[in-house]
Amino acid sequence: MADRAGQLDDADQLAGLRGRFLLPEGIVYLDGNSLGALPAAVPPAVADAVQRQWGTDLIRSWNDNAWWQAPLRVGDAIGRLIGAAPGQTVAGDSTSVQLFNALTAAARMRPGRPLLLTDPAHFPTDQYVADSVARMTGLEVHRIPVADLPRFLAARGDQVAVAGYSPVDYRTGELYDMAATTDAVRRSGALMLWDLCHAAGALPVRLDELEADLAVGCGYKYLSGGPGAPAYLYVARRHHAAFDHPLTGWNGHAEPFAASAGYMPAEGIGRARIGTPPMLSMLALEAALTAFDGVDLEQVRAKSLSLTGFLLDCADRELDGLGFTAATPREPARRGSQVALRHPDAYALVQALAARGVIGDMRAPNLLRFGLNALYTTHRDVLTAVRQLRAVVLGEEHRKGRFQRRGEVT
């Protein structure tokens, strides 16, 4: 396997991109699906934002350093990675907040349709927000697995206002067919809302081409924008005029500095701005996105599949008989950019593995997750991770008490 890892890395056309990240020595980092690694462009950009832009230019920075335009400028930079032409994506707030905005606006755009569909396996925040929006708007939430959507839509599609789904299952890493799902939802007259947290930056997403209606996502997973980086909201241009934002903050006003008494939304995606953005995080995210400059997402996808496939192969060989089963589908077309393995001792194994310098994460009750960001992960990293995991299990290192105690964040 070592030979194969070496050959695959030597042939890797994206190998040079690893130099765009600052990775700590001696660590194999496979948790970029929770918090992307630090792009080398970020520290100088943040230092400049703090010292020169804030420290010296002060309030003038809103004009002189183009702070005011940043949410739309950064939105367009994200748009390039998710197949959105300029002027349809805004950066800001958190995924949870953007979900609330998108679902509420969607309900307002489809009056008379009483149902909100979401995935029973969706990330918790997506389900919690869907329930709350439903209570506020009078919609009824139905939790329909992706595989059952066509049948449900055929029967009751004309009652559906919006369907909110993720192309990638955050636990198993299974990738769904975005095109077929979007098509089925839109043919029923409902709006398709995608949560791209585990897709953006990891694989090509073609929102415009698919004619998706709405999308949200975070800035800190595969986009590597830093802890708590601004999220984003995409609204297809054809919906801008009808997009009635629930959070009518002054930044989204047509004339934000006119201090008019009533709210009048800006033209275009600018109406999806809310309040003053966190500029330090916004500028960190903008710098982070330069790691994608000149990068072909088709190549990212090809490498990502090579990495996830190699991890599954390594697991087959090195972990055989040690109590693991793969939760991630074997078929390349059904894999996102992570591999999840089931094991009853998942939590302690992930802790003991981290003590050996291999960082992944765990999702209850029994999943070990390994996120493989193709911009900075190598096949050698993958092999090291699997071999270290084997050593942990064989040495029963995870049985030590300190690896059993849970921190606040798992």
Ligand X SMILES: *Cc1c(COP(=O)(O)O)cnc(C)c1O
Nearest to 117 by CA among 76, 148, 72: 148
- For ligand X, the binding residue among 1, 62, 86, 96 (CB under 6 A) is 96
SS3 of 394, please?
A: helix
- Nearby residues of 235 by Cβ (< 8 Å), 6 or more positions away: 88, 102, 105, 213, 214, 243, 269, 272
CA-CA distance, 297 to 100, in Å (whole number)? Answer: 29
Question: Is the CB of residue 341 less than 8 Å from the CB of residue 368?
Answer: yes
Of 38-46, 178-186, 193-201, 348-356: span binding ligand X (CB under 6 A): 193-201
Q: Is 166 in the site for ligand X (CB under 6 A)?
A: yes
Catalytic member of 221, 303, 363, 390: 221
Cα–chain center distance at 325: 25
| 170 near ligand X, judged by CB under 6 A | yes
H or E segment at 284? helix 279-289
Closest distance of CB 234 from ligand X, Å: 15
**Choices 21-29, 118-126, 307-315, 387-395; region in contact with ligand X by CB under 6 A:** 118-126
Q: Residues 110, 273, 335, 369: which is the catalytic one? A: 369
Q: Does residue 125 interact with ligand X by CB under 6 A? A: yes
Is 218 a binder of ligand X (CB under 6 A)?
Answer: yes
Give kind and range of the element (H or E) at residue 399.
none
* Residue written as token pair 């004619």: 211
Q: Which of 20, 198, 303, 398 binds ligand X (CB under 6 A)?
A: 198
220 is catalytic: yes
Q: Are 133 and 104 within 8 A, CB to CB?
A: yes
Residue 123 annotated among the catalytic residues of the structure: yes
Which one, 5 or 203, has the nearer CB to ligand X? Answer: 203
By rule CB under 6 A, what string of x and - marks binding of each residue 76-95 to ligand X?
Answer: ------------------xx
CB of residue 165 vs ligand X: minimum separation in angstroms? Answer: 9
Q: Is 303 in the site for ligand X (CB under 6 A)?
A: no
Q: Who contacts 370 (Cβ-Cβ below 8 Å, separation ≥6)?
A: 30, 31, 311, 338, 339, 340, 341, 360, 382, 385
The answer to whether 127 contacts ligand X (rule: CB under 6 A) is no
Task: Provide the binding-site residues for ligand X, judged by CB under 6 A.
Answer: 94-96, 123, 125-126, 166, 170, 195, 197-198, 218, 231
**Catalytic machinery residues:** 123, 195, 220-221, 369
